[in-house]
Each structure stands twice: as structure tokens, then as C-alpha cells.
Chains A and B, each alone.
Chain A
Amino acid sequence: DAMVIQNPRYQVTQFGKPVTLSCSQTLNHNVMYWYQQKSSQAPKLLFHYYDKDFNNEADTPDNFQSRRPNTSFCFLDIRSPGLGDAAMYLCATSAWWTGVYNYGYTFGSGTRLTVV
């Protein structure tokens, strides 16, 4: 089945040690998103890629970076994780081309990040 896969499901990292979360998709969707969800809060959009075009939310800290080497993969890099970055990180995809729009996002199961 076509899907969005996030690895790993759980990630423990040390305070200040760079960490990378990965997302892959088999849907051939051209838009990919990263959301951060802290405990008992709604998902918060960090940034998204429309094809190769990177779109950063204004309040996303510089500590968070992203890479999208090809259509299928997208990475979230946290350069110096702090205790406040502990959260579930959700990857999602959608399809949007001129005149065609897949209205539903497909989300991965998320990566739960713990910072120690």
C-alpha cells in the first residue's frame, strides 16, 4: 500500500547532539510537510516543500532545518536539540499541481523524540 513512512518510530538523543529524522513516501506526492506536536497540543507546522521549493514558517526556530533530496524523501535536522524540542514529529504529504489537488493529507505515524 502506498504510504508515508517515518523512521525511527522512537528516537532518543542527547541535549545538544544533532539528530536527523527521516520521512519517505510511495505516493509520489509533490508536497511534503513537517509538523511538531508536543504533548496534549495540536500539530504545529514547521515547514513544507512544494516540489523542491522550501517554505519555512515564520516562527520555526533556526535550530530546525530540512532537506528534500528527491520526491520520495524528506529529512528533519535538529542541529542542537534542547529539552523543549522533545515532541512527536509528523511528516505529511499531499498532491498539488496546477488544476489538480489531492485534498487529503497523508500522515506518517510520527517519530517521538526524547531529549536527555
Chain B
Amino acid sequence: DAKTTQPTSMDCAEGRAANLPCNHSTISGNEYVYWYRQIHSQGPQYIIHGLKNNETNEMASLIITEDRKSSTLILPHATLRDTAVYYCIVGQAGTALIFGKGTTLSVSS
């Protein structure tokens, strides 16, 4: 069973921030939140992960609520190349990742 719930699709204007939500209300204390994206016909690409604290890297920011039951992936300035399926995955470090259905993000000019 999926451990995460994401909206099926979202739209974003180019240059604006894209905020992708994810619910993971049954997350356990030692489980991480991972985000991957998959551009059409390519393999998934790792974006970011976090345990409790908010995280930022060159691609995105990850905001995790204090109770850890939900998180938001933020792409600060979306471009057309960010159009992809975004997967939010919950799992323990070192265990194989199980993908859910993901959110299709469409960025338009």
C-alpha cells in the first residue's frame, strides 16, 4: 500500500515557485522523505531527501511539518524543463524505495 498521497496533477507558470505537497501521515520515526522526478522517457532523478529538518540543495527545498505527517517540495523558479512526474517516497535508509503514483507537474510559459 502507498505510504504517501499526492495530487494527481498540478500546473505552474514559468518563473513562479512550484509547491508540491505530499501527505505521509503514517510515517515512522526512522523513515525519510525522498523526492524524485521523472521526465518523460527518462529514468527517475533524485532531487532531495529529509528526515525532520527542512533541506535545501541546488535543485529544490524540502519543507517537512513538525509532526512529519506532510511535506512540500519547492522548486523556487520553475522552468519548462521542470515539467515531469514528481514522486514523494517514504522509507528507511538502506531499504528499497517503493514508488507511488506521483504528481504530474506541468510548467507553462
Contact residues of A with B, CB < 8 Å?
A: 4, 33, 35, 42-45, 48, 55, 90, 92, 96, 101, 103-110
With known contacts A92-B43, A108-B43, A103–B93 Cβ distance under 8 A = yes
Q: Given the complex of chains A and B, what is the CA–CA distance between A90 and B36 in angstroms? A: 14
Given known contacts A42-B99, A42-B100, A42-B102, is B44 in contact with A105 (CB within 8 Å)? yes
| Cα distance A29–B43 in the bound complex, in angstroms | 17
Give chain B residues whose Cβ lies under 8 Å from the Cβ of A55: 96
B10 interface contact, C-beta 8 A: no
Inside 8 A of A42's CB, which chain B residues have their CB?
87, 99-102
Chain B contact residues: over half helix, strand or loop, or mixed? Answer: loop
B: contact size bracket = 20 to 34
Do A96 and B94 have beta carbons less than 8 Å apart? yes
Residues of B within 8 A of A92 (CB): 43-44
Contacts of A96 on B, CB cut-off 8 Å? 93-94
Which residue of the partner chain, among A48, A90, A109, contacts B96 with CB atoms under 8 Å? A48
Q: In the complex, are the beta carbons of B87 and A105 less than 8 A apart?
A: no
Q: Is the CB of B46 within 8 A of A105?
A: yes
- With a cutoff of 8 Å between Cβ atoms, the chain A residues found around residue B30 in the complex are none
Q: Would you call A107 and B34 a contact (CB within 8 A)? A: no
Check B93 against A110 for contact (C-beta < 8 Å). Answer: no
Q: Is the CB of A106 within 8 A of B97?
A: no
